[in-house]
Chains A and B, each alone.
Chain A
């Protein structure tokens, strides 16, 4: 057991306790949390800063509005309902089509009007919000994921998670939905995590659960060596989020839209640690490198582009042995 601890230490693995104690508590100012926890605020903030986000169709703030949601949705055939203060992907309803009076979700299941409204009232009631406070339901436009990912996903939108430390991207992965995860890009629920080389945007490694995998279990496609187009742009977007919300330890979730390019889906003030498993690499060496670089360039203000470039150079080229 002690040897295992030693191995993890020398691999620079960041544990939950250290993440909370040394990074989140000291880098993330509590007063800025609402900016990322509330997805509506976050979206507006990112838009202000000129960052691309999925469009907002409408907000459902009260039970009365929930019963009249058809007025908002009158022209919509595809959309996503999200709790504004949800966590861990709970309470997200993805509608991809409309058949007469009914909706169709991303699994192809029919969703009746009443069911949809009931879901809205659950969200507003706070069933999915942190701490159970009353919440808002947010109706977003549906992201049409880039067909380039087609062979790497099963019924769902793969997303890209970038950890940004003090404005510098330090690690990235993509989460590929599987049959097991019911199309959700959540590693807990069975999605596959694949590390991304920060320099090139090429996928490396791959983990399902805690085990290494090399092919997608549903499509059979190789998950390693896939190059994400426009990676440089993606790095810059992630780095820019630091200015937008001023959180020192930040998770940026990005999706690639077929037509609109990379869109920032949401930000996370307490990003998970599974990204290390997906990359098969610890975070701490990268975090330390950023700290050291900040020391060296004290006082110099770097633009997001400069930071993204530095990170690409610094952290690119990591290969799994």
Chain B
């Protein structure tokens, strides 16, 4: 029993394995299951304009590193004449440009190509609890008062933070709060105040800075947010509105109290961040994404191979589909052909010639070949030399056809050279044997049958979707294998057998009726 069911287990396992790899690549790595899907990319540019003062110039720009929800695909620094180093600290990644002497105004660029990424990722590690700030009076008392008051009105970190922000945003803040707010103008300053107040309750907090990715923004403004740690997660608050939650399409550029740009030895005229939306092939992006993530499953695709090899594998990986067609035609339908898988090889050549022209060429070569084969028969050559002669004749025929078609100005005959001459020669040989043993009719019938199977295999193999899958999701061949294994244990009738045993069925019907 267990041995009898093994095929089923194997088939199901293969099916699941293929399906899982396929699913993972689609869902987690974002490989598009259908060809020609384009995906969003953001082109981000930071432009720095400087005017020289004196002495060596240093410019240090924070650049995005690993923003959650996005992936930096490509980036480049355009800074002729400057020395460039990059400090690769997550979320505080700095590009440092330096030059000993700057002549005239200079513009530096940072450009990045950002793609969406489904994977969830945090923007900071689990923090330590901050100490309560040591402040002078009256600040110390005010801080204690605010903390005590807000704590009584709130239940957890989230509501505590909300309440603090509401107080800071209040049009007419109370005494304690106004004490802290005096001289505070910018959002970043307000966030800094909120951070001090939160520290009073020993709540870890973090400044988060970034931009909203919108279509074609010439001058994107950096938005600062407040993040607090509730013991498990970082919660993000908009310090301008008090709302909780990450704004949509918000890309974190950096975190912490550092400044986006620091320049010494020159005067910074302008720092402009612009965003442009573009589109790219979803497939290309998925590949890049998988590469960045170092996912090993990206290797399960032919896209990693050199181009010429890719072209070969695109065809090779299609063969199982053609084979599957043959299995179905033989074991479910009940057709037969010259050579078990010869039709698949012929079908491969149809890819070069197109179907109709391919069929015509095939018939032309086979019938001419048969003609010569019958002549050779009369010479009574030994088997192997005779086969060799047939192969040679086939090659010559192909050459002649190519030359003639070239003279006539059509290209069809040129692709003929890719026909599998050995296969054709074997078919000619088999056909001539069947011709002599069983008659011309059966021989031609079987020849046309092979051609029909080749045409069907070709039609299946030329389905664009299958070609795409074969290249991008070679694991679909595991599914094909699963089906082939299952078909290998199909012991029911073949379609042609219903006709073949028609007489018996007829008798049975009469018996049943009587």
Contacts and interface: CB of A to CB of B under 8 A. Distances in A.
A321 B492 contact: no
A45 B139 CA distance: 112
Nearest to B489: A21
Nearest to B382: A121
Contact of B331 (A1, A17, A115, A211): A17
Interface in B470-514: 488-494, 497-505, 507-512, 514
Contact of B501 (A17, A21, A90, A277): A277
A7 B500 CA distance: 13
Interface in A76-98: 90-91
B120 interface: no
A8 B504 contact: yes
Contact of B438 (A22, A115, A124, A189): A189
Contacts of B507: 11, 280, 320-321
Interface in B418-462: 429, 433, 437-439, 442
B493 A277 contact: no
A15 B492 contact: yes
A126 B492 CA distance: 34
Given A1-B498, A125-B383, A8 B505 contact: yes
Given A8-B498, A128-B433, A15 B493 contact: yes
A277 B503 contact: yes
B491 A125 contact: no
Contacts of A18: 491-492
Contact of B494 (A17, A189, A276): A17
A111 interface: no
A315 to B, nearest CB: 16
Interface string A16-39: 111001100000000000000000
Majority secondary structure, A binding face: helix
A277 B334 CA distance: 17
A189 B390 CA distance: 27
Given A22-B491, A321-B514, A211 B503 contact: yes
Contacts, number: 99
A212 B505 CA distance: 12
Contacts of B331: 17
Contacts of A11: 501, 504-505, 507-508
Given A8-B505, A22-B491, A90-B433, A277 B383 contact: no
B5 interface: no
A128 B437 CA distance: 10
A7 B433 contact: no
B502 A210 contact: yes
Contact of A15 (B437, B494, B511, B514): B494
Contacts of B502: 4, 210
B380 interface: yes
B436 to A, nearest CB: 9
Interface string A194-218: 0000000000000100111000000
A13 B384 CA distance: 42
Contacts of B510: 321
Given A21-B489, A90-B437, A126 B383 contact: yes
Nearest to B379: A118
Contacts of A7: 505, 508-509, 512
A276 B497 contact: no
A5 interface: yes
A17 B498 contact: no
B492 A210 contact: no
Nearest to B432: A127
B290 to A, nearest CB: 42
Contacts of A91: 437
Query: Which residue, A15, A114, A211, has most C-beta atoms of chain B within 10 A?
Result: A15
A63 B381 CA distance: 12
A210 B500 contact: yes
A122 B385 CA distance: 11
Given A122-B383, A125-B382, A5 B493 contact: yes
A103 B464 CA distance: 60
Contacts of A121: 380, 382-383
Interface string B130-159: 000000000000000000000000000000
Interface in A99-156: 114-115, 118, 121-122, 124-128
Interface in B390-438: 429, 433, 437-438
Contacts of B380: 114-115, 118, 121
Interface pairs A-B: 8 shortest CB-CB: A125-B383, A18-B491, A118-B380, A7-B505, A11-B508, A15-B493, A21-B491, A7-B508
Interface of A: 1, 4-5, 7-8, 10-11, 13, 15-18, 21-22, 63, 90-91, 114-115, 118, 121-122, 124-128, 188-189, 207, 210-212, 276-277, 280-282, 320-321
Given A90-B437, A91-B437, 18 more contacts: A7-B505, A7-B508, A8-B497, A8-B498, A11-B501, A13-B501, A17-B331, A17-B491, A18-B492, A118-B380, A124-B383, A125-B382, A127-B433, A188-B442, A207-B503, A276-B501, A277-B504, A321-B507
Interface of B: 331, 334, 380, 382-384, 429, 433, 437-439, 442, 488-494, 497-505, 507-512, 514
